[in-house]
Amino acid sequence: MNDTQQPVRVGISCGDLNGVGLEVVLKCFEDARMLADITPVLYCSAKVLSHHRKQVKLEEVQFHRVNDAREALAKKLNLVNLWEEDVDLELGKPSGQLSSYAIKSLEAAAQDLASGKVDVLVTAPIDKNSMQLAGFAFPGHTEFLQHMAGGDGEVLMLLVGDGLRVGCVTGHIPLKDVSAAITTDRILAKARVLYQSLLRDFGVIEPRIALLGLNPHAGDGGTLGSEDKERIVPAVRRLNEEGIKTMGPYAADGFFGNGTYKHFDGVLAMYHDQGLAPFKALSFGHGVNFTAGLPVVRTSPDHGTGLDIAGQGIADEGSFRAAVWLAADIRQNRERFKLIGADPLQPQKREKERKEG
């Protein structure tokens, strides 16, 4: 960022109160350099944050308590105090009904994002099972934010890190349901979101996209399943006809094993673990989960709640820090994309129309 740009106001949902989310937030903004271009706004409670701060021995990390995100100060870790009541924390234990506070935090942060009080959103990890037991009606952050945005547009969970951008045609569904969910139309919809995101969010001028096969060896010509030949190949053909440079389907093991992924700007896997397992093997610790296709910018670290290490002071904040920077970068890329897409002759056209009247 240059001296003329305002710091990016980053809204942060607290995530699972018994996990490592608040620890990585504190560790991230313990480094004062993070506050030069970022104004963090955390949605939580002062009592809960103070408990975590003491537990992981980060009591020197200061925060500025506010009642509204509009009161956030630059060069401070700001805290919107959402509740005053005491909360019985058991770090490292499943949260159960305690997840109602994670829901409260997410909803408040999303509302402020929608109203422009913050510029981007970074979500700390949640326990999906506990969230749903506490009344959360969505499989995860992606589906919630899609609903908040109106629910009509297509979105894509995109894992970003080390030059890799990996999306999935299907997300949080059982493996037994994946084959039926893989249709040519669905592949096309997700690939188009990926393509537009590469242009708008990442500044890639001529994106190159790879599609992975569904079956081992991409079906081996139909010997190991017909989905690749009947559903994925037609999608590749159609995308290229639309001007979207696409290749595949590739056998996933060889694609990552021999480094073919390095020749593409984006990769579209057919299901969750097919894309996320190799991504995390290559980029774990500094990868970022980004929701492409939303009108707002949302990122998250690529790890979960970390209940096995919560409260021990050993959680690595690298992925959370990367999520903060990526959110700020994507926002800046979107602003540039607007300028590139703007018609420089539009003011002259309007003036001509006014005179002709």
Q: Identify the pLDDT of residue 346.
A: 47
Q: What's the order of all strands across the beta sheet hosting 8-13?
A: 64-66, 78-81, 38-44, 8-13, 120-123, 298-301, 288-292, 156-161, 164-168, 266-269, 208-212, 245-250
Q: Identify the pLDDT of residue 341.
A: 67
Confidence class for position 356, pLDDT limits 50, 70, 90: low
Q: What fold, for 154-286?
A: Isopropylmalate Dehydrogenase (3.40.718)
More confident residue, 35 or 163: 35
Q: Is the pLDDT of residue 98 over 70?
A: yes
Domain-wise residue ranges, the chain: 1-151+293-357, 154-286
Domains 1-151+293-357 and 154-286 share a fold: yes
Confidence class for position 355, pLDDT limits 50, 70, 90: low
Confidence class for position 3, pLDDT limits 50, 70, 90: very low
| Nearest alpha carbon to residue 272 among 346, 204, 172, 177 | 172
- How much is the mean pLDDT over the chain? 92
Q: What fold, for 1-151+293-357?
A: Isopropylmalate Dehydrogenase (3.40.718)
Q: Identify the pLDDT of residue 172.
A: 82
Q: Is the pLDDT of residue 340 over 90?
A: no
List Cβ neighbours of 85 (8 Å cut-off, separation of 6 or more): none
Q: Identify the pLDDT of residue 262.
A: 95
List Cβ neighbours of 40 (8 Å cut-off, separation of 6 or more): 10, 12, 25, 29, 34, 77, 78, 324
Helix or strand or coil: residue 332?
helix
Q: Identify the pLDDT of residue 309.
A: 97
Instruction: Please report, rounded to a whole number, the percentage of residues in the chain having pLDDT higher than 90.
Output: 80
Six-digit token string for 317: 């904040």
- Is this prediction's pTM over 0.85? yes
The number of C-alpha atoms within 13 Å of 124 and in the hemisphere containing its C-beta is: 31
- Summarize the confidence of residues 14-34 as an average pLDDT: 96
Any idea which of 77-91, 133-147, 277-291 has the lowest mean pLDDT?
133-147
- Summarize the confidence of residues 102-125 as an average pLDDT: 96
Confidence class for position 191, pLDDT limits 50, 70, 90: very high
Confidence class for position 139, pLDDT limits 50, 70, 90: confident
More confident residue, 117 or 137: 117
Confidence class for position 143, pLDDT limits 50, 70, 90: confident
- Summarize the confidence of residues 76-105 as an average pLDDT: 95
Q: Identify the pLDDT of residue 158.
A: 95
- Summarize the confidence of residues 286-308 as an average pLDDT: 94
Identity of the amino acid at 286: H
Q: Identify the pLDDT of residue 6.
A: 85
What would the pLDDT profile of 207-239 be if each residue is shown by its tens digit? 999 999 999 999 888 889 999 999 999 999 999
Place of tokens 């910018």: 297
